[in-house]
Amino acid sequence: MRHVLSCEQFSREEIDGLFNLTDHIRQNEKAYSGAISDKVVATIFYEPSTRTRLSFEAAILRLGGKNISTENANEMSSAIKGESLTDTIRVMDGYADAIIMRHPDIDSAVRAAEVSRVPIINAGAGSGEHPTQALLDAYTIYKNKGKIDGISVAVMGDLLYGRTIHSLIKLLCLYKNITIFGLSNPALALSNDYLQYMAEKGVNYTIVNNLKDLPSDLDIIYQTRTQTERFLEKGLKAEEIVIDKAAMQHFGEDTLILHPLPRRHEIAPEVDSDPRAKYFEQSTNGMYMRMGLLYEILVNSKN
């Protein structure tokens, strides 16, 4: 594995290997505490982040690596002086052994990878993709369900601009007998590209308009935040479908709730104590999965 740009690049075998490696690191953390002690990893974020940047940085430090970071690269890097992303990357690849980046442009990670001599990890590219989030989402499903084949998933919230949704859909398409339901405000429905992608991969996608239209034995509810920062300027308004205690009564005890976070009001805090709520576990899983990914890229792969 060299760059991580899109979930389209993964094979089933690679993901199985990554999850096994993640479990092994988790169970033997001490043995890995110096695994990348000779590596410097850069985190460059042109958009806000809490979990993604800090879990990557924690992962780097827990593997004994060193981190250089710009958390507000739009203002705090030479971007504000007019430097292009590709020039910045060409400089950074002389300082770091891998570059983890988040940027508002959909094609930013691909453009960076075209000029970079070191691996680029896409940590969120505009409203395009967020592949490492999907890996940790799938890892959380696998840890809780013991499998991913055959599951049913409802993707909810902002299906149009939500990059975590886009990457998760592509990742789920690698598995067998997947059923996906889409529940969103019609203004934020999934675009045709993704509908076509699922159709080509044989994944069954059904649009529903109400939580009560979802099967009560659904495996996963994947709720997301409305990406207001991406569509306010277009004058769109979208009512959110809220998951609260009453809504959860419709589902059985095996229906798990995931959310990439941050949440606003789309999951009521009263749901947090429900044993089916897995979103905080999901963010912890993210750090371990990112340790696995960094180990895979910096130690296992011949770059």
Residues known to be catalytic: 51-52, 81, 102, 130
Residue 128 makes contact with ligand NCD by CB under 6 A: no
Nearer to ligand NCD, 22 or 52 (CB): 52
Residue 238 makes contact with ligand NCD by CB under 6 A: no
Please give the single-letter amino acid code of residue 90: R
Residues 248-287 within binding reach of ligand NCD (CB under 6 A): 260-261
Nearer to ligand NCD, 143 or 225 (CB): 225
DSSP 8-state assignment for residue 220: E
- In angstroms, what CA-CA distances link 294 with 40, 43, 117? 11, 13, 16
Residues 213-232 within binding reach of ligand NCD (CB under 6 A): 224-225
Q: 15: part of which helix (H) or strand (E)?
A: helix 12-27
Binding test (CB under 6 A) with ligand NCD, winner from 3, 163, 278, 290:
163
What spatial distance separates the first Cα and last Cα of the chain, rounded to whole Å?
8
**CA 160, CA 220: separation in Å to the nearest integer?**
19
**CA 146, CA 186: separation in Å to the nearest integer?**
33
Nearer to ligand NCD, 67 or 167 (CB): 167
Sheet with 220-222, edge to edge strand ranges: 204-207, 179-183, 152-156, 220-222, 256-258
Binding test (CB under 6 A) with ligand NCD, winner from 26, 51, 90, 276:
51
Nearer to ligand NCD, 95 or 280 (CB): 280
**CA 211, CA 242: separation in Å to the nearest integer?**
9
Residue 111 makes contact with ligand NCD by CB under 6 A: no
Binding site for ligand NCD (CB under 6 A): 51-52, 124, 130, 133, 163-164, 224-225, 260-261
